[in-house]
Structure 1
């Protein structure tokens, strides 16, 4: 069996799970649309014929169930393992908000407990056969990011940013962390990249100091996609994903295709192979 086709992370995951590719979605800073990108990617992957799961690793700020319009759905445990919830679009989801009674209840946990919950979501969930498992990671380079990178064999990381120099600097920290942990960065998605012109096909760049090209060159990154700052994207964050306009759909399809075409080149140094 080839490295790409084997179950990634099978040394720790439930034996009868077969997860082909595990992709972390990460940002250095909160509020840049990371969870929205995770959900858009997952839904397009399903439309492209793949079996997909999302592990919501943002324990203190889980938002995947809301983005997928999962309502009052709840995951449950059979005593030994967690059974994920299937979204209406066919995505298997595990999130803390699917396991607690009140979604507004705060999660007041220290770092090790949060990291342990993420490991349990990966190791003890009955994921079954998946082509892709997307891990929606919390912002920053803290305990959860370290836990995921150390304990799960990732195919790669998708970075999410917005066109501001301050955010780019913080995202650079996350990129450097991934490189130090020997995790490849698949590419960058820039959210709020432009405003669509209402009367033409132009993309209006409102951030004059956007340094995207130089940033991509400096860190040797591929641009996976640019998502607009639009009422449609804002509505997604408020009311979940429904049907997409042709313009946004085109961006998401192109972004997803680049992720599908990525092939992980393992150095094996982290996993002793």
Structure 2
């Protein structure tokens, strides 16, 4: 029976690819400790993205592989999570109590951007992260409705300066809808909108967030530029449908974020297919493969492809989006995968593939 050593343990770990980092734990720099005491092997990994629903199964898979290694009597794998703050550019001040800001954007309206933002925030929270969502769609705020917050709700004010976000479903929510009447249109010019957005962001007392999801208004105008230039955005998620017109506008969104040096984390394709509830026939009402083509064209990832589903609409309108309304559904699983992939892309953008050096403890 051969003696177990670090090289053999790493060889086993390299055989398994983290589906969100697209790397094995060793290459991804996730190994923090390898403790070998005779036939007992203890491994500790550290992931940089929220993954509470994934990490136990991941640890069990690696543990079983290590226990099959010749010379190993028992093995254990511990998976920790440490979400690091995004390192902002020098000219952009960090946001107090917020580690990472995720912009969810689209080139045009009606593609399901706000629904995606809400479900992304809720899915990140289910993965164990502290999450907030900012409804930056000044002209058409909708997150209050999606999170089931009663009309007329107003944030509490602290020290005559800070607005306390309203908590719903475990997520901290702030929206212009909380500061104006539901029926009052925002008839504002660009500078007024930009000023309101900055007040919402900087004067909200966020409570130690790992991720702040920003639901952007459609387009590439003042609000998008203000956010890009004055707020340390860790990355952007572009939402589109397969329709050619939507893809044309989505391309402009990708280009805008690239010009202001904000990483595009990937593309989310909504309304990709409609499945008839009576006969099960699948129809691509808005075209087919558009999101995949857009992602390939710009060298980014297709993070998720979601169907045109009545359930998504009804659950969002009912104040309890799919990610928490029906957690075992296939659509909710797609949102969870989206959340883990977005977190992993941010971690990779901030840290690269290199991590802290691993520690080995052995009785050799």
Same fold flag (TM > 0.5): yes
SS, match of residue 117 in structure 1: helix
Question: Any stretches of 5+ residues in structure 2 without a counterpart?
Answer: 1-47, 49-82, 351-364
Once residues 219 and 125 of structure 1 are traced to their aligned partners in structure 2, the CA distance between those partners, rounded to angstroms, is 35
* Pick aligned residue for 2:138 from 59, 67, 76: 59
Tell me the equivalent position of 2:162: 81
Tell me the equivalent position of 1:50: 129
Closer, same or farther: CA 12–125 of 1 in aligned 2, 3 Å: farther
Question: Any stretches of 5+ residues in structure 1 without a counterpart?
Answer: 267-273
Q: Pairwise mapping of residues 190-269 of structure 1 onto structure 2 (< 5 A)?
A: 190-196=269-275, 198=277, 204-208=283-287, 210-242=289-321, 243-244=325-326, 246-262=329-345, 263=347, 265=349
**Contact 2:239–2:268 (8 Å) recurs in 1:** yes
Closer, same or farther: CA 22–8 of 1 in aligned 2, 3 Å: farther
Closer, same or farther: CA 117–214 of 1 in aligned 2, 3 Å: same
Closer, same or farther: CA 38–238 of 1 in aligned 2, 3 Å: same
Once residues 287 and 193 of structure 2 are traced to their aligned partners in structure 1, the CA distance between those partners, rounded to angstroms, is 39
Closer, same or farther: CA 169–7 of 1 in aligned 2, 3 Å: closer
Count matched residues: 261
2:176 is the alignment partner of 1:96: yes
RMSD: 2.4
Closer, same or farther: CA 260–200 of 1 in aligned 2, 3 Å: farther
Q: Pairwise mapping of residues 53-202 of structure 1 onto structure 2 (< 5 A)?
A: 53-72=132-151, 73-78=153-158, 79-87=160-168, 89-100=169-180, 102-196=181-275, 198=277
**Contact 1:60–1:107 (8 Å) recurs in 2:** yes
**Contact 1:21–1:154 (8 Å) recurs in 2:** yes
Once residues 127 and 281 of structure 2 are traced to their aligned partners in structure 1, the CA distance between those partners, rounded to angstroms, is 28
Q: Deviations over 1:155-196 (max 9, x none)?
A: 100010011001100110111000011111000100111123
Q: Deviations over 1:68-94 (max 9, x none)?
A: 00113321333111111111x111111
Q: Deviations over 1:24-46 (max 9, x none)?
A: 00000011111100000111111
Once residues 210 and 97 of structure 1 are traced to their aligned partners in structure 2, the CA distance between those partners, rounded to angstroms, is 35
**Contact 1:165–1:210 (8 Å) recurs in 2:** no
Q: Deviations over 1:102-124 (max 9, x none)?
A: 21111111111110111111111
**Contact 1:76–1:99 (8 Å) recurs in 2:** no
Once residues 175 and 87 of structure 2 are traced to their aligned partners in structure 1, the CA distance between those partners, rounded to angstroms, is 21
Closer, same or farther: CA 63–203 of 1 in aligned 2, 3 Å: same
Closer, same or farther: CA 63–210 of 1 in aligned 2, 3 Å: same
SS, match of residue 155 in structure 1: strand
CA shift for structure 1 position 206 = 3.1
Q: Deviations over 1:118-154 (max 9, x none)?
A: 1111111110200100111100000000000000111
Tell me the equivalent position of 1:30: 109
TM-score normalised according to structure 1 size:
0.88
**Contact 1:155–1:264 (8 Å) recurs in 2:** no
Q: Which range moves more in the overlay, 249-258 or 192-201? A: 192-201
**Contact 1:13–1:123 (8 Å) recurs in 2:** no
